[in-house]
Structure 1
């Protein structure tokens, strides 16, 4: 059984969501300075990781990865995805910003491979689901240090997400980063913009 009801009693939240193996746990470590299990194989994080600061009514949550995980059967994958959806629905009013983490190197190939008349790619589906919940959403495009033509890749991603390119007009939504190298400035700026809109400048110190 996956344990999903471990959330600390905190009102405000920033939630990290995304496929397995896109670097969410590495990003979580960079944001919090606190180490969580990370692994080379997908699906290491099966339950939410929460990190809260004692004096603040605030928590950062790293939700488990969804989609393909080697060595994880389809029933469990679907259960994890369902739990993520339920969690986001339950706490939609508390989540100040959702950060949808994607792998900049492979995201276009993955989206295109799973696009068809009867199939919506998980990343695209999750992006629209978060927006339907009225959760301000930033797409953290990770591993950009491995991408040759950054502008082209980010324009393609905007196109797949239904955002009109060029990507630079969406800098509060699209944030190219490299979590492993600690290059997070576009993400910090995008998250702060959404926090500011919700009168939560007090949380800037975390970003």
Structure 2
């Protein structure tokens, strides 16, 4: 179980598979460098970056799903810890940012669906929704995607959102390339949700 969560009243969480760029995105949002690496599973515990005065923080949760060199039992334990963390802190989580790899997410979802499984990304999307946490899908690494509109439409379809993706761009779908600092669309969607939550006092943390 994850321990030592800072006692903050509000947070935005980043969740997603290993190696989708969560830590890079966290760096872009906070200006603070976190451990990143090509080897999946570098982040095993939550990384918190907080502002005590405002009682607010960003939390980068460990990656879930397949990780090279990590036993299945350990992967399942990490996923269970993530689920418990989100359940325990649901009332304090203003937004859940589900980070996916724009280049590979469709293949991953389809591969698991064909195995009669619920893909982790889809499962997590609905899990957050069921808890009443606004979900934003940050579709990362879009610089590596050729037909962007088609890919984003396909992702909406897999998540049960009616395409075209543009109709979800205000509150749910944010195409980004975190490595290049191209996260304006995500900042705009986060601003929308903070405003909806009547937390305009926190807008400065998602505005550059």
Which band: TM-score by shorter chain? over 0.9
Report if aligned partners of 1:100, 1:139 keep a CA contact under 8 Å in 2.
yes
Q: Which runs of 5+ in 1 are unaligned?
A: none
In the alignment, what sits opposite 1:30? 28
The secondary structure found in structure 2 opposite 1:169 is: helix
CA offsets, 1:145-172, max 9 Å, x none?
A: 1101110000000000000000000011
State how many pairs are aligned.
205
In the alignment, what sits opposite 2:53? 55
CA offsets, 1:73-115, max 9 Å, x none?
A: 0000000000000000000000000000000000000000100
Question: With structure 2 as the length reference, what TM-score do the two structures score?
Answer: 0.97
Shift of 1:202: 1.1
Alignment of structure 1 residues 23-172 onto 2, 5 Å: 23-116=21-114, 118-171=116-169, 172=171
Structure 1 consecutive aligned stretches of length 4 or more whose deviation exceeds 6 Å: none
Aligned equivalents of 1:139, 1:5: Cα separation in 2:
26
Aligned equivalents of 1:10, 1:54: Cα separation in 2:
7
Shift of 1:44: 0.3
2:181 aligned with 1:178: no
Aligned equivalents of 2:73, 2:114: Cα separation in 1:
22
Q: Which runs of 5+ in 2 are unaligned?
A: none
